[in-house]
């Protein structure tokens, strides 16, 4: 495996950062997880734009252009001969001292790891997930805005620890007012009748790339999608529920806090959107290899 690290590709055994890197010491940095399907990178431009937006929000200047960063992602897949896989693209504040000040970090650290990924076993896409509600609340947007995809994921990790202890595959996270915002690593959608609802990003949800793709797909097939706040009551009484994320893709939820959702099986609309999303990933994307045509 070859890892992109600060301008060159190195074997993973040599891919290391300083113990004084502020990404390691303080979670000071941003990242993206990006998928490739059949030699095409899915929504690459949107991912890179979000990376740069996250960096700008924390006053972290990335010393590359958007186009150059896109090529880093494509080259990472090529160097590792991966056509169906995942990259983790990370930009840290860089090496500094033991103080908090970002001014002591003159040069950001940039690395990109390409590998394969399967967040959930295939059975969960057929049978659905069981989730619980975490007691850990989502970070308040005025403290650390969850729209910044930062390296500080301890809030999410504490929530998933609760889920693992309860035997759940994922956890629902609430904001400080008690509204559903997202899961530990995925956006959440409900189906009620012939309409979809998902939390708006301003309440504390990440502006997910897959989330946005599913909203577009739903509207293309005439399904009304409403971005509004809702509570756990709405989850419990929904006809269907599913999660979206780059690693998760689109996965059904059939139980929340020991309450079956709908008839306790993946629903018809969820199934339609899973198939539509799979078709989208098969037919679109930024080509990695010369033998792959532009979509």
Active-site residue list: 149
Partners of 92 in the beta sheet?
29, 109
Q: How many CB atoms lie within 10 A of CB 57?
A: 14
Instruction: Tell me if residue 46 falls in helix, strand or coil.
Output: helix
The alpha carbon torsion through 284, 40, 278, 216 (nearest 10 deg) reads: -40
Rounded Cα distance, 149 and 136, in Å? 19
Antiparallel, parallel or unpaired: β 170-174 and 195-198: unpaired
Produce one character per residue of 164-187: b if its CB has 16 or more CB atoms within 10 Å, e if not.
Answer: eeeebbbbbbbbeeebbbbbbbbb
Kindly list the distances between the CA atom of residue 199 and the CA atoms of 41, 215, 216, in Å, as whole numbers in the listed order: 27, 12, 15
- Give 34's strand partners: 87
């Amino acid at each position: 495996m070859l890892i992109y690290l600060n301008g060159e590709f190195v074997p993973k055994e040599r891919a290391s950062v300083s113990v004084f890197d502020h990404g390691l010491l303080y979670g000071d940095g941003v990242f993206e997880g990006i998928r490739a399907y059949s030699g095409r990178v899915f929504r690459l431009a949107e991912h890179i734009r979000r990376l740069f937006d996250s960096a700008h929000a924390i006053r972290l200047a990335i010393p590359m252009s958007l186009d150059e960063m896109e090529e880093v992602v494509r080259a990472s897949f090529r160097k590792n001969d991966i056509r169906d896989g995942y990259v983790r693209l990370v930009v840290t504040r860089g090496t500094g001292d033991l103080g908090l000040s970002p001014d002591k970090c003159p040069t950001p650290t940039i690395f990109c790891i390409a590998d394969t990924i399967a967040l959930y076993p295939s059975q969960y896409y057929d049978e659905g997930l069981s989730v619980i509600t975490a007691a850990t609340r989502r970070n308040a947007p005025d403290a650390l805005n969850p729209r910044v995809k930062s390296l500080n994921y301890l809030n999410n990790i504490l929530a998933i620890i609760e889920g693992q202890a309860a035997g759940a595959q994922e956890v629902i996270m609430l904001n400080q007012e008690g509204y559903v915002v997202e899961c530990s690593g995925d956006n959440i959608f409900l189906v009620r009748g012939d309409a979809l609802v998902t939390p708006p990003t301003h309440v504390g949800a990440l502006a997910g790339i897959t989330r946005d793709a599913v909203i577009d797909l739903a509207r293309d097939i005439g399904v009304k999608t409403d971005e509004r706040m809702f509570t756990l009551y709405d989850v419990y009484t929904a006809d269907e529920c599913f999660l979206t994320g780059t690693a998760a893709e689109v996965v059904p939820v059939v139980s929340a806090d020991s309450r079956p959702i709908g008839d306790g099986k993946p629903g018809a609309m969820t199934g339609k959107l899973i198939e539509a999303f799979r078709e989208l990933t098969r037919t679109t994307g930024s080509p990695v290899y010369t033998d792959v045509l532009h979509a």
